[in-house]
């Protein structure tokens, strides 16, 4: 295989996911005139934003060959801490933003410590974190939601539209803008920085990296912390959309995010993956949910279809690999 075919192989994978997305959009548009409307498209993007941000975060961890099951309840815990800072302590908005991201990064660092230093398998370590964070959210809030009615402008974080103010024809919600900014920045980190290079290297052959004299434990913790920080942004988005921190929410979000990552062609074995793929994966899931709803398919069937799509997506990826090897 030459260099060019290797590049083509990577592009092909994204092309496949992208083609599926186009086919879904075309199919739903033909099936229902209500689907391809600006308002509905914006609703889809808005729906994809939280899951997309979480998926971008967990993509980093999955590329290292790990997994993070705690991102759903971590998202909620970050939202709760934002509520503590803004509503309970009455601090300015910017500190609420900082609280969300810092909480996420700190919890990510803790997960990373369990995985890298204590050598607890990522599945177990983050399963534990998932339950711990769920419990902490309920304890901190006394199981009651925290509302953001006293913080003017908080709902604008996700629901406002900076782009819409500039170009009225494109009322892209800020949540979507934030998703694309986060994705762009993360893709940049992955492809251009030392951290990104080690993310792939750890997933390819961690022992070889360690024997190269690299502080693998430290870098791994940094990657988990970065992913946690990104999840913190997800927490901010969901809190802004609901104008509240709902402590009981969160479980199940991690699996949706992991599903988006997998549909986007990132290998759960590590060493391989792209943010663009994850983004497309998150959009496919949002289009699917929305489209089936527009077609009045019962919600329980939507879940079944989503599950089937995950299996088909991974099977298609397997086929492609078998062919290339």
Partner 1 sequence: MSELIRMQAIDKHFPGVHALKSVDFDLRAGEVHALMGENGAGKSTLMKCLSGVYQPDGGHILVNGAQVSLPGPKAAQDLGIGMIHQELALMPDLTVAQNIWIGREPRKSLGRLDEAKLNALTAAIFGGMNIPMNPIARVGDLTIARQQMVEIGKALSHRSRVLIMDEPTAALNDAEIAELFAIIRRLKSEGVGIIYISHKMDEIKRISDRVTVMRDGEYVGTVEAAKTPISRIIAMMVGRELSDEAVSIPDLSAAETALEVRGIARAPDLKDISFSVKQGEILGFAGLMGAGRTELARAIFGADPRDAGEVIVHGRPTAIASPRDAVAAGIGYLSEDRKHFGLALPMDVRANIAMASLPRFADRLGRLDETRLGQIARDYIATLKIRTPGDRKEVRLLSGGNQQKVVIAKWLLRDCDILIFDEPTRGIDVGAKAEIYRLLTELAAGGKAIIVISSELPEVLRLSHRIAVMCEGRLTGILPGGASQEQIMELATQRNSMTRENVA
Query: What are the residues binding partner 1 (CB under 8 A)?
Result: 1-3, 6, 189, 192-195, 197-198, 200-201, 204-205, 207-215, 271-272
Structure tokens at 114: 């369990």
Q: Please say which residue, 21 or 189, places its beta carbon nearer to partner 1.
A: 189
Nearest CB to partner 1, comparing residues 84 and 227: 227
Q: Nearest distance from residue 284's CB to partner 1, in Å?
A: 25
- 5: its two tokens: 């075919």
- Residue 302 to residue 299: CA distance in whole angstroms: 5
Q: Which CB sits closer to partner 1, 28 or 198?
A: 198
Rounded to whole angstroms, how far apart are CA atoms 152 and 134?
A: 28
Nearer Cβ to partner 1, position 165 or 323?
Answer: 323
- Please state, in angstroms and rounded to a whole number, the distance separating the CA atoms of residues 166 and 184: 21
Query: How far is it, in rounded angstroms, from Cα 246 to Cα 141?
Result: 9
Smallest separation, CB 1 to partner 1 (Å): 6
Strands annotated E in 226-295: 244-245
Instruction: Choose between 189 and 285: whose C-beta lies nearer to partner 1.
Output: 189
> Which one, 33 or 213, has the nearer CB to partner 1?
213
Torsion angle in degrees (nearest 10) through CA of 21, 25, 26, 30: 150
Least Å distance, CB 132 to partner 1, is 30
Q: Give the Cα separation of 283 and 81 in Å (integer).
A: 28
* Span between the terminal Cα atoms of the chain, in Å: 10
Smallest distance, partner 1 to C-beta of residue 265, A: 14
Least Cβ distance, residue 325 to partner 1 (angstroms): 11
Taking the least distance from each CB to partner 1, the nearer of 299 and 323 is 323
In the complex, least distance from residue 57 CB atom to partner 1, rounded to whole angstroms: 18
CB 246, min distance to partner 1, A: 36
Torsion of CA 296, 160, 167, 18, to 10 degrees: -50
State phi, psi for 278 to the nearest 5 degrees.
-60, -40
Is the separation of the CB atoms in 220 and 183 below 8 Å? no
């Amino acid at each position: 295989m030459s260099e060019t075919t290797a590049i083509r192989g990577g592009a092909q994978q994204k092309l496949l996911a992208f083609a599926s997305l186009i086919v879904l959009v075309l199919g739903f548009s033909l099936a229902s005139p209500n689907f391809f409307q600006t308002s509905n498209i914006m609703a889809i993007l808005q729906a994809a934003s939280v899951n997309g941000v979480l998926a971008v975060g967990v993509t980093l961890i999955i590329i290292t060959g790990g997994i993070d099951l705690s991102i759903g309840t971590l998202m909620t815990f970050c939202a709760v801490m934002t509520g503590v800072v803004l509503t309970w302590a009455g601090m300015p908005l910017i500190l609420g933003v900082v609280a969300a991201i810092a909480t996420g990064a700190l919890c990510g660092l803790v997960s990373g410590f369990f995985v890298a230093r204590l050598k607890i398998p990522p599945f177990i370590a983050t399963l534990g974190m998932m339950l711990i964070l769920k419990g902490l959210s309920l304890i901190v809030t006394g199981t009651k939601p925290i509302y953001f009615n006293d913080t003017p402008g908080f709902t604008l974080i996700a629901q406002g539209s900076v782009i819409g103010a500039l170009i009225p024809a494109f009322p892209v919600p800020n949540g979507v803008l934030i998703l694309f900014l986060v994705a762009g920045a993360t893709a940049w980190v992955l492809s251009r920085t030392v951290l990104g290079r080690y993310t792939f290297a750890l997933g390819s052959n961690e022992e070889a990296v360690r024997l190269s004299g690299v502080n693998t434990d430290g870098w791994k913790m940094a990657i988990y912390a970065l992913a946690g920080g990104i999840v913190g942004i997800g927490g901010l988005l969901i809190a802004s959309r609901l104008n509240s921190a709902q402590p009981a929410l969160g479980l199940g979000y991690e699996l949706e995010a992991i599903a988006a990552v997998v549909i986007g062609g990132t290998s759960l074995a590590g060493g391989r993956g792209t943010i663009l793929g994850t983004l497309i994966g998150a959009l496919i899931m949002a289009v699917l949910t929305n489209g089936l709803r527009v077609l009045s398919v019962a919600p329980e069937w939507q879940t079944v279809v989503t599950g089937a799509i995950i299996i088909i997506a991974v099977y298609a990826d397997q086929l492609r690999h078998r062919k290339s090897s």
